[in-house]
Amino acid sequence: LRSNLRCLQVASSWRAFQSFRKSSTSSDYIQDSIVPTMHFQHSLPRLPIPKLSYTCRRYLKSQEPVLTPEVYAATKKIVQDFEKGEGNSLNSQLIAQNKRNKHTSYISGPWFDMYLESRASIVLNFNPYMAYKFDERPEYNDQLIRSSNIVVSAMRLMKTLREGKLEPEVYHLNPKKSDTESFRKIARWMPQSIAAYYAILNKAFPLDMSQYFRLFNSTRVPQIGRDELVTDDSGRHLLVVRNGHYYTFDVIDQDGSIVSPADIQANLQYILNDNTPRPDAPVGYLTAENRDVWANVRTKIVDTSENNAQVMKMIDSAVFCLCLDDTSPDGPEDMTRNMLYGDAAYRWFDKSFQIIVCKNGLMSVNFEHAWGDGVAVLRLFNETFKDMNERPAVSPSSQPSNTDPSQGVNRLTLDLEPGVSNAINTARDNYEAATSKLCIDAYQHMDFGKNFLKTCKISPDSVMQLSFQMAYLRMTGQVGATYESCSTAAFKHGRTETLRSATQETTRCSQAFLKDSSASLEEKRRLLQECSDIHNQLTKEAAMGQGWDRHLFALRTLAAKEGKTPAIFADPAYSFINHIILSTSTLSAPAVLAGGFAPVVPNGLGIGYTALDDSVGCNITSYPDSLNASDFVACLIDCWKDIQDVLSKTNKQ
Ligand code: BUJ
């Protein structure tokens, strides 16, 4: 019932979202796709529930490298019993429930709950960031120019999306065949009920776009026990945060058109020139608090006055949050500190996304994770970057309009009771304590990249993942539980699957690369190939929804609802493999300068990485209880050199 209700909510929000239509000039759009945005959505394939026997087999395969043989034997017995007994009946229930809920995926509900029920601060624990490359035209990196342009480009994207003119997101396996006009012309005439099948037959995989309606006008609102995602697309204003002050002004006019860029520029200039001193208790810190604490304080704020209730409504319904930082991050560590968290007097972490623009023009997206995943945010990222480059709304010679910005810009003020100010001070102390512990190091290795690895017929991602295993083994003598995020957006309401990249193969290979190993060059080359082969297989499986993590997670959730904890989940080995030491995620897009996230456990590492044509790079975070990020980077560089050495020597032979 709960999941049905949620679906109704989603459907009605989507209808309201689409009803926002109005004829505007073509400069208000980033594109006019001949295939409507949601054309494939209705016929997307459903996320499969893997066979229980496959899940058990895959789970045991992932456990093998992290457990001792004795512990593994005990876990194997528990898993076999689960498969024959309790697991079997839970799985039948899951299958039946899934059949009754054809509009969604079996993971969607539990995954929203996982995020929204967590009471931990969303800062460091959930929100990641992605940084944009600088504009190649230095004069466009001026803070006012860049922020005016990103606002207009984001609004163009919002309008394009809402009017169904945004190209559907499609992963083209064979772009020459399907990323073509003729494919689009045929696809648009296909009835929506079969359009995705047609695309898939052409090796074009349409991706789920159900998350997109939460890109704009959306906020995670703290509530006791479980937060709520709120989308109010009647909001026409932008939220701007600077120096503890919160401002709004309209970026969409009453007719639904984008406000003139000159007016937007004038309003942003006005905010940048505002010298009002920083308040003693900036409310932004609260959005980084424990969620129950924040929920209680927020209720107090809202109950204090009608003005406060209105202010909160304005914040929640704003199109997005623009953070105008007074900093100029210098170097990768400084950038990650600024963009992953920064000064919370310049943030509202609950918004679906914040765009942070620094004094030196460095710009990032920091996003709340409950509503959506990397695919939707990357689309926002890529489209806005492209639009700002190709069709910047303002240029260094543009003059802000001479309308009076004090009429359009609202500085929001809250009536804060002493209890609330105290809560903000505590929130600030907690924030400083948590964020100051984070260690960060990043490195770009210029000696090889995808091009070289492809000539060796080795999967670049497998080399990256193997290098993490090697470095961890060299530093600790152990195999750490490892998570590689993999999108399952090729399925209706798919989210992510975990690719368990620590395998028997990576362990064998990492051991063979230890300094005291007697493995020959050929032996090492063969082991590298084995790692690549198994990694390719695991990648395909995860992307097809054939991992074990989400399936077991759904079964565990189902059992918990009945007050049961089957032995497989009480087994310490299950907790062990889910205490993620190496949390990894990768991104490579032309617009991306860098990105990052914090470790998910105190003794773990957060590893953002990229494999580019001629270089590989990583951005690593750690806490004091774990391996240090910089030590790990140093060891990683040695591993990359050793792998390259073996590959180049054996490639020549
Ligand atoms: O897996 C999931 O469900 C969501 C994951 C969660 N987690 C981050 C914990 C793995 N979320 C994502 O994967 C989204 C992450 C978005 C940021 C990715 C950053 C990648 C940065 C690469 C660039 C580093 C290059 C530095 C070079 C100096």
**Whether pLDDT at 37 is above 80:** yes
Look at residue 5 in the predicted model and tell me its pLDDT: 31
Q: What per-residue confidence (pLDDT) applies to 625?
A: 81
% helix / strand / coil in the chain, to the nearest 5? Answer: 50, 15, 35
Has residue 91 got a pLDDT over 50? yes
Helices (H), 168-317: 175-178, 181-189, 195-201, 261-272, 291-304, 306-317
User: Is there a contact between 235 and 318 (Cβ–Cβ < 8 Å)?
Assistant: yes
Q: Which amino acid is at 77?
A: K
- pLDDT at 23 > cutoff 70: no
As given in the structure block, the two tokens for residue 446 are 């210029």
Residue 326 has pLDDT above 70, yes or no: yes
- Contact between 348 and 559 under an 8 Å Cβ cutoff? The reply is no
Give the number of the atom of ligand 1 that is nearest the alpha carbon of residue 444.
Answer: 28
CB 279 within 8 Å of CB 413: no
Report which ligand 1 atom has the smallest distance to the Cα of 126. Answer: 9
d(CA 494, CA 491): 5
Per residue in 471-529, pLDDT (tens digit) is 999 999 999 999 999 999 999 999 999 999 999 999 999 999 999 999 999 999 999 99
Ligand 1: residue whose CA is nearest its atom 5: 485
Identity of residue 63:
Q
Q: What percent of the chain has pLDDT over 70?
A: 96
Q: Is pLDDT above 70 for 611?
A: yes
Residue 361 has pLDDT above 80, yes or no: yes
d(CA 136, CA 141): 8
Q: Which of 132, 587, 588, 593 to mutate to test the pocket of ligand 1 (most atoms within 8 A of CB)?
A: 587
What six digits make up the tokens of 95?
Answer: 């299958």
For 210-255, how does the pLDDT look when each residue is reduced to its tens digit (9 = 90+)? 999 999 999 999 999 999 999 999 999 999 999 999 999 999 999 9
Q: Indicate which atom in ligand 1 lies nearest the CA of residue 617.
A: 27
∠ CA(463), CA(465), CA(469), 5° rounding? Answer: 110
Burial profile 91-118: b = 16 or more Cβ within 10 angstroms, e = fewer: beebeeebeebebbbbbbbbbbbebbeb
Res 21: pLDDT: 42
The first and second tokens of residue 404, run together, are 């009076």
pLDDT, position 24: 63
> What residues form DSSP beta bridges with 496?
487
Query: For 218-227, what is each residue's pLDDT tens digit?
Result: 999 999 999 9
Average pLDDT, the chain: 95
196, 298 Cβ separation under 8 angstroms: no
Q: Which atom of ligand 1 is nearest to the CA of 584?
A: 10
**d(C-alpha 436, C-alpha 643), whole Å:** 35
Around ligand 1, the residues with Cβ closer than 6 Å are 128, 130, 332, 373-374, 442, 444, 485, 496, 583, 585-587, 594-597, 600, 608-610, 617-619
Distance, in Å, from the CA atom of 72 to the CA atom of 581, rounded to the nearest integer, reads 19
Give, as one character, the DSSP assignment of residue 351: B
Could you tell me if 491 and 45 are in contact, meaning their C-beta atoms sit under 8 angstroms apart?
yes
- Predicted pLDDT of residue 653: 52
Residue 269 predicted with pLDDT over 50: yes
Structure-token pair, residue 622? 């750690």
Strands 321-324 and 237-242: parallel
The radius of gyration of the chain from alpha carbons, rounded to an integer in Å, stands at: 25
Count of CA atoms in the C-beta half-sphere (13 A) of 129: 30
ipTM of the complex: 0.99
Rounded to the nearest whole angstrom, what is the distance from the C-alpha of residue 80 to the centroid of ligand 1? 34
CA 594 to ligand 1 center in whole angstroms: 10
Classified as helix, coil or strand, 597 is: coil
For 22, the token pair is 């109005």
**C-alpha 584 to ligand 1 mean position (Å):** 6
Report, as an integer, the average pLDDT of 356-361: 98
Of the candidates 42, 103, 172, 369, the residue annotated as catalytic is 369
Please enumerate in sequence order all residues whose Cβ is within 8 A of that of 91, keeping only pairs 6 or more positions apart, or say none. 49, 52, 555
- How confident is the model over 420-443, as pLDDT tens digits? 999 999 999 999 999 999 999 999
pLDDT for res 626: 85
pLDDT at 463: 98
Atom 20 in ligand 1: residue holding the nearest Cα? 608
In the residue annotation, 551 being an active-site residue is answered as: no
Kindly write down the DSSP assignment for every residue of 532-544, as one continuous string: HHHHHHHHHHHHT
